[in-house]
Amino acid sequence: MNRRIAYKDVAAIFIILLVVGGFFFKLFYPIQQIIATPDFGESDAIGNISSKMIYAAGLKEHHIPLWSSFIGGGYPVYATGMLLGAFYVPNLIAFTVFPLVTAYNLVLVTSVMLLGLGMFALLRILQYHRGIALFGALTLALSGYNIAQLTHISITESLSLFPIITLLFYLLAKRKSWTLAGLLSFVLSQQVFIGFPQIVFLTVLFAGALFLYTL
């Protein structure tokens, strides 16, 4: 019986990956594209891709860029924080290994997938029916708020860790464990490193309240 449940959960996870992957398929094929929408005459995606271009060039030369002479008379690239996400592990891997546009889109799509998978895991741990958990995961991953923020890659990345951090807070309230505490510290630090403090604040506020309620 447990094996059947596990197989059904794996099937639900596969559906999440398939739906999100299908939604973003046109970003990769037949030609690579970047999502950009006008924000008062320009798009935040332009600023994001420019910063990521400098970031990727630095990583491919085995260092994280702190300063760039290509912007004005010189610019502290690392100080932009929100546009760079320099120490976020998916960024480090993607922009080191892949070409710029591929890496940018991969990080974006991976974030949406992570949001859906995290929500599915959270709802299943809270003992919701698999169908409800799947619906909740897809609804959140492709929600109006999330889709509207796709040009703001740091918001999408930061939001993707919200369900996972909430899940770890909940599990830690149920069972005291140094392993869980260490994992929670790492994932929370990753959300901080992305550089969007508003979502970090909301995550800790919500997950902390759930932690106290569960206790």
Question: Is residue 106 scored above 90 in pLDDT?
Answer: yes
Question: Is residue 82 scored above 70 in pLDDT?
Answer: no
Question: Is residue 1 scored above 70 in pLDDT?
Answer: no
The confidence score (pLDDT) of residue 2 equals: 64
The confidence score (pLDDT) of residue 14 equals: 96
Question: Is residue 84 scored above 80 in pLDDT?
Answer: no
The confidence score (pLDDT) of residue 101 equals: 93
Q: What are phi and psi of 29, to 5 degrees?
A: -145, 140
The confidence score (pLDDT) of residue 141 equals: 96
**DSSP state letters, 10-61:** HHHHHHHHHHHHHHTGGGTSSS-------BTTB-HHHHHHHHHHHHHHHHHT
Of the candidates 12, 5, 51, the residue with the CA atom closest to the CA atom of residue 141: 12
- Share above pLDDT 90 across residues of the chain, in percent, rounded to a whole number: 66
- The predicted-structure confidence for 198-210, as pLDDT tens digits, reads as follows 999 999 999 999 9
The confidence score (pLDDT) of residue 39 equals: 67
Residues in the chain: 215
Of the candidates 22, 10, 38, 12, the residue with the CA atom closest to the CA atom of residue 142: 22
Q: What is the mean pLDDT of residues 137-161?
A: 93
Q: What are phi and psi of 39, to 5 degrees?
A: -120, 100
Q: What is the mean pLDDT of residues 124-150?
A: 94
Q: What is the mean pLDDT of residues 160-186?
A: 96
The confidence score (pLDDT) of residue 172 equals: 95
Per the prediction, the chain carries an average pLDDT of: 89
Q: Structurally, how many domains does the chain consist of? A: 1
- The predicted-structure confidence for 42-60, as pLDDT tens digits, reads as follows 667 777 788 888 889 889 9
Higher pLDDT, 48 or 1: 48
Reported as half-sphere exposure (CB side, CA atoms, 13 A), residue 101 has a value of: 9
Write out the residue range of the structural domain in which residue 206 sits. Answer: 2-214
The confidence score (pLDDT) of residue 83 equals: 61
The confidence score (pLDDT) of residue 41 equals: 65
The confidence score (pLDDT) of residue 67 equals: 79
Residue 134 makes CB contacts below 8 A (sequence gap 6+) with: 12, 15, 16, 120
